Chains A and B, each alone.
Chain A
Amino acid sequence: MGKKTLEIYSVELNGTKDVEQTDKQDGKERYRGLKNCFHSKKDHHTEKLKKELDLDDHKLSIEELEKKYGTNIITGLSSTQAAELLAQNGPNALTPPKETPEIIKFLKQMVGGFSILLWIGAILCWIAYGIQYSMNKSSSLDDVYLGCVLALVVILTGIFAYYQEAKSTNIMSTFNKMIPQQAFVIRDSEKKTIPAEQLVVGDIVEIKGGDRVPADIRLLSAQGCKVDNSSLTGESEPQARSSEFTHDSLLETKNIAFYSTTCLEVSTSPVGTATGMVINTGDRTIIGQIASLASGVGNEKTPIAIEIEHFVHIVAGVAVSIGILFFIIAVSLKYQVLDAIIFLIGIIVANVPEGLLATVTVTLSLTAKRMAKKNCLVKNLEAVETLGSTSIICSDKTGTLTQNRMTVAHLWFDNQIFIADTSEDHSNQVFDQSSGTWASLSKIITLCNRAEFKPGQESVPIMKRIVVGDASETALLKFSEVILGDVMEIRKRNHKVAEIPFNSTNKFQLSIHKTDDPNDKRFLMVMKGAPERILEKCSTIMVNGQEQPLDKSTAEAFHTAYMELGGLGERVLGFCHLYLPADEFPETYTFDVDAMNFPTSNLCFVGLLSMIDPPRSTVPDAVTKCRSAGIKVIMVTGDHPITAKAIAKSVGIISANSETVEDIAKRLHIAVEQVNKRDAKAAVVTGAELKDMSPEQLDELLTNYSEIVFARTSPQQKLIIVEGCQRQNAVVAVTGDGVNDSPALKKADIGIAMGIAGSDAAKNAADMVLLDDNFASIVTGVEEGRLIFDNLKKTIAYTLTKNIAELCPFLIYIIVGLPLPIGTITILFIDLGTDIIPSIALAYEKAESDIMNRKPRHKKKDRLVNEQLAIYSYLHIGLIQAVGGFVVYFTVYAQEGFKPSILINLRVEWEDSNVNDLEDSYGQQWTWYQRKYLEWTGYTAFFVGIMVQQIADLIIRKTRRNSIFQQGLFRNKVIWVGIASQIIIALILSYGLGSITALNFTMLRPQYWFVAVPYAILIWVYDEVRKLFIRLYPGSWWEKNMYY
């Protein structure tokens, strides 16, 4: 690391970071990737993009620029020129991405999932009616109605899903909001205000402090101009801007201000504005290009979407194969084709859980709501579960892991390093404050500082107050305010008589004060700055309040401390002072900062103070939790490797006892190449190194190291890292806040943006927004995601079960020829009526065991619907339910006169409307309508039978492994709401609507409601036994086959 890097942290006193020096090497690489990406974009205007990026406008002189753009910096463009250019290049706005037309989105919902099957069912209905009609003009319209009902079901669920999807916002929608409304432009030698959209290349614009930059502009005159580029590059420091060309790269040079960044301040004299020439507008701006990069990244299918698709395939496969099988059976049993078609419809309707996808949506949105309460705002519903299956989190550093504000972390005085409290409120400062050195040091910190609190914030906690000043000075101000109390008061008492602000040439800041000691007439000169510069100016050092000559050993101690603090990734400042002798500098002495009529050498060195953007206090705990949940946390940052590593260490991304290859080399005093790479658990990789890696090497890196930090990465490299992780079959979460993060956020399986610090672009690209910017919220998200996955399993198992109970009647009907036990309409009333609320209620189920202690599920192995779940639901519980349903059905028929024996093969006569004297078991004769009515009673009975057993099914689905009694029968109150809803809906259908024949429900005798109860009990007991054996014999054949 050595000296070079130390400098980085020592010189940035006023935030006027000297980009030239520090970023010369890395800077190019940082954006190289970005450029590459534009090149590789298969867009037809790739060439154009490339050309734009190779612009050399920043290198040109003003005259050359004027020539190039046909403008004049005094008079500006003429209106006609501007109009021409506007027509030629289009408005200065980001084009929204090609949106799928709403109608296409809507139609997609109409044909997705089970919809196709249901459409087939509906069409078959109409075909069946067509056949009937062609044979008999007066055939009943039942099939038409059924077809319409099926179509209606599809359309309604489609509208529901469409509505849910429409709620999630589009990435570009607030990119547009970032466009400044008005721009101040010089045209026709006149200053005028025009909408920023109408800016064209060559326009001369003026910017004030606080404005958003209206386009990419080349600055022509700017004094003390600072811009906030954080949304673009991730640098949280304000960046100085001037009219000088300082760097070859367009992206690094100081004379370019970028579209949509904020101009923080422009020094008031002489004009208070910065003037610039527009060089790029709209999509050709840098931010426009990143935006198109982000929207060019395809949205990955969420894991839960894949799972649901898989599940739909299973169910559809079962439906289609049983449908075709029985179509063939029906035809070979000499049924008419018409009948066979009607059977097919029944089988499809019985097999498809019509309400399930809507239920899943509701379940997800319930969890989303719950997460929103915990400050995780989910934009894309399916992303709710994604966090649960996440196996790698790629986290941005600034603002996510850290507080995104400089804070005093360490102090060095009296030859000792003291630790300052860096927690969010600084409340616990424990270092020794009794030393005389501290008294002096604190005075320098307080006085040699230009930052001030904005007035009127007395009631606001110190750490939350708004400060005017740059990041380091703010940190020092707050630090001293916390420890010493009213800083402004202290400054007032120590009146400032002269001041030299920081500049990058002398690298120090100095001020001269009258002291608050009335007996001491001396002036106090205080100075802070780059430690080595400060030390150079000193001849003495203060130890325990006493001045001592600065000898070699103390200088050595200084260097050790400086290196150590620098090695922690902290920015170090040196502090010194000097009491000016009263005889030479009497009270009336006039200090002249330009003539420097006062000494600036042989000062007394007081101490060092180092600052860092400290980690949020909740982060280390959250990282540990992620670890124990089997989630790998990778840091991906644009920041320097040393800082990145230091933060990674302090939050546990690199754990205390793991070393990088470099660490090992240093410890063993051997060359890096000699170290056995397997010994290192951690790795710090810079963007420059990453650039040279092949995808295979990256894969190797990602698999071999469990703790990885990527530093100095570009937006494109972030994408590459995410893709690399995804190649490992990992589900990747990316957190970030800047515009530069947005492509990676989009690419990730789940992008998580910071709600407070995050840029709009990041929020738009993300699937989830952390409203409190708190990494710990992610842990909540993981927990909720895992819970929802488990609970969805339960919901699906619950829902699938009754499908067999609905299907069997059809199969028996076809083969044995019983009167139809349950009608299609009735089935729909189960699927979309009684079962809906209970299946949603399962979403409220608490976790069975500590879900945060198990590994994330394997994307390809741990399926939502696995073989065991399908078999157990279909062939075990489903069959019990079918048998139970049949018992109710037979009971109704037998007690009304048709004993089971007579029902066999009765179908043809039973359904013949011309047979109006069908004999029952007792010799009584039934008209067709009387039979039909009995058939509907049978439907109702079967329906009630299924409903009663679904109550038991609901209860057993509460757990998959534990006993219901371990889980608590009454802990989830919503389950009981669900059960109540089932019963109430069934009661209404039977007794309330029993007289509406179109619904095929009749009033059922009360006792029939209890016929299926023994089977409900059987289901419960059977499942308890299953779970008992699973718990008793883990890993056994039983568990392998019975645990879903």
Chain B
Amino acid sequence: MVIQKEKKSCGQVVEEWKEFVWNPRTHQFMGRTGTSWAFILLFYLVFYGFLTAMFTLTMWVMLQTVSDHTPKYQDRLATPGLMIRPKTENLDVIVNVSDTESWDQHVQKLNKFLEPQKNDVCRPGRYYEQPDNGVLNYPKRACQFNRTQLGDCSGIGDPTHYGYSTGQPCVFIKMNRVINFYAGANQSMNVTCVGKRDEDAENLGNFVMFPANGNIDLMYFPYYGKRFHVNYTQPLVAVKFLNVTPNVEVNVECRINAANIATDDERDKFAGRVAFKLRINKT
């Protein structure tokens, strides 16, 4: 015995849909009467209204536990990272000496980055601590980072545009800000750069660091956070590459040598170090 399957014609299907959308007999729209729809809307209005209120409330309560000035936890920031300027897409500094446009953007960025700031002149070699001592000491003063320290890379009265126009580019190294981090643990620290592999070292050629030795002074630490430390300027180290082999990609790695900054984290390639590529195209 074959059970006959009811096959609906196309017209029937359309008819059924029509009836589903609006059923004139029962006055149902999409399977519900007007009152039912009203109930549904009202219900969801109340329900979701309540849920939103609950969310807002819990978020508000949660935000009460968070200070405006310092983060509650800094679990991930034990080791500050290093970064370079100019900031490029894949951390590769490519300079076409003859092609102004290729480095002009870097120069613009650097100019902006190195805009002069008016800050205190602090005593070098010591942390510039500004404890609260019970009363909020606010805002905190920031130490001046004088552009002149960057020597040839300061860009002041520099017709070579940080050396980009001559194929001797300056790359700036900076250390990530971490609140209340006493970098160097009271000992002096500096940045060093090397070619990543032997051939990179060869191709890299000579370079000079500004300030001398790539030193970072303790006076720029600790950092007190965006709210307190309004005009904080990050200390920088500039590296001017003097005779990079042209038309070759050179892998450069710079790391900071400081007592309390580990630079050998296998997973975080930017913890206390930075790697970038340098390529100078000369025709």
Contacts and interface: CB of A to CB of B under 8 A. Distances in A.
Interface of A: 695, 720, 723, 726-727, 875-876, 879-880, 883, 886-887, 890-891, 894-897, 899-900, 914, 916-917, 919-931, 933-934, 937, 997, 1005, 1011, 1014-1015, 1018, 1037, 1041
Nearest to B76: A930
A925 B63 contact: no
Contacts of B178: 924-925
B80 interface: yes
A923 B270 contact: no
B89 A723 contact: no
A890 B51 CA distance: 16
B179 A923 contact: yes
Contact of B227 (A887, A922, A934, A1014): A922
Contacts of A890: 59, 62
B176 A929 contact: no
Given A896-B75, A897-B74, A929-B269, A1014 B58 contact: yes
5 contacts: A883-B54, A916-B176, A922-B70, A923-B232, A1018-B54
Contacts of A876: 47
B246 interface: no
A923 B223 contact: yes
Contacts of A897: 71, 73-74, 77
A742 B177 CA distance: 81
A998 to B, nearest CB: 11
A861 to B, nearest CB: 14
Contacts of B35: 1037
Given A916-B81, A925-B178, A930-B271, 20 more contacts: A723-B3, A879-B51, A887-B59, A894-B63, A895-B71, A896-B71, A896-B74, A900-B59, A900-B63, A916-B176, A917-B81, A922-B179, A923-B225, A923-B229, A925-B80, A927-B176, A929-B270, A929-B271, A997-B267, A1041-B40
B275 to A, nearest CB: 10
Contacts of B227: 922-923
Contacts of B76: 896, 926, 930-931, 933-934
Given A923-B229, A934-B76, A894 B62 contact: yes
Interface of B: 1, 3, 35-36, 39-40, 43-44, 47-48, 51, 54-55, 58-59, 62-63, 65-66, 69-77, 80-83, 89-91, 174, 176-179, 223, 225-227, 229, 232, 265, 267-271, 274
A471 B100 CA distance: 113
A968 B91 CA distance: 63
A1016 to B, nearest CB: 12
A887 B61 CA distance: 10
- Which of A897, A1014, A1018 has the most B CB atoms < 10 Å from its CB? A897
A344 to B, nearest CB: 26
A895 B59 CA distance: 12
A96 to B, nearest CB: 27
B80 A899 contact: no
Contacts of A896: 71-76
A1037 B268 contact: no
B62 A891 contact: yes
Contact of A916 (B47, B54, B75, B83): B83
B225 A922 contact: yes
B1 A720 contact: yes
Contact of B179 (A886, A924, A929): A924
Given A896-B71, A897-B74, A924 B63 contact: no
Contacts, number: 134
Nearest to B224: A923
A890 B65 CA distance: 12
A12 B274 CA distance: 104
Contacts of B271: 927, 929-930
Nearest to A1005: B73
Nearest to A933: B76
A720 B3 CA distance: 12
Nearest to A719: B1
Contact of B91 (A720, A723, A914, A1018): A914
Contact of A923 (B48, B177, B267): B177
Nearest to A1011: B62
A887 B58 contact: yes
Contacts of B73: 895-897, 1005
A933 B76 CA distance: 7
A925 B51 contact: no
B63 A927 contact: no
Nearest to B62: A891
A862 to B, nearest CB: 18
A876 B43 CA distance: 11
A930 B69 contact: no
Contacts of A933: 76
Given A899-B66, A900-B59, A927 B81 contact: yes
Given A727-B3, A900-B59, A914-B90, A930 B223 contact: no
A900 B3 CA distance: 61
A1014 B51 CA distance: 12
Contact of A883 (B55, B65, B77, B90): B55
Contact of B71 (A723, A922, A1011, A1037): A922
Contacts of A923: 177, 179, 223, 225-227, 229, 232
A928 B36 contact: no
B81 to A, nearest CB: 3
A930 B77 contact: yes
A880 B71 CA distance: 28
Contacts of A900: 59, 63
Top 4 A-B residue pairs of the complex, sorted by shortest distance between their CB atoms:
A923-B226, A927-B81, A925-B176, A929-B268
Nearest to A883: B55
Contact of B177 (A891, A925, A937, A1041): A925
Contact of B63 (A723, A886, A899): A899
A917 B83 contact: yes
Given A914-B89, A914-B91, A1037-B36, A924 B270 contact: no
A900 B66 CA distance: 11
A875 B179 CA distance: 42
B62 A924 contact: no
B31 to A, nearest CB: 9
A18 B83 CA distance: 106
Contact of A927 (B58, B75, B223, B268): B268
A926 B175 CA distance: 10
Given A894-B63, A923-B226, A695 B81 contact: no
Contacts of A894: 62-63, 66, 72
Contacts of B80: 925
A919 B227 CA distance: 13
A883 B62 contact: no
- Which of B39, B75, B83 has the most A CB atoms < 10 Å from its CB? B75
Contacts of A891: 62, 65
A925 B270 CA distance: 12
A924 B176 CA distance: 7
A184 to B, nearest CB: 44
A883 B57 CA distance: 12
A921 B67 CA distance: 11
A489 to B, nearest CB: 60
A726 B2 CA distance: 12
Given A917-B83, A923-B226, A927-B270, A887 B55 contact: yes
Given A917-B81, A997-B267, A924 B65 contact: no
B226 A922 contact: yes
B240 to A, nearest CB: 22
Nearest to B81: A927
Nearest to A886: B55
A1000 to B, nearest CB: 13
B55 A917 contact: no
Contacts of B82: 916
Given A883-B54, A933-B76, A924 B71 contact: yes
Contacts of A1005: 73
A208 B182 CA distance: 103
A926 B176 contact: yes
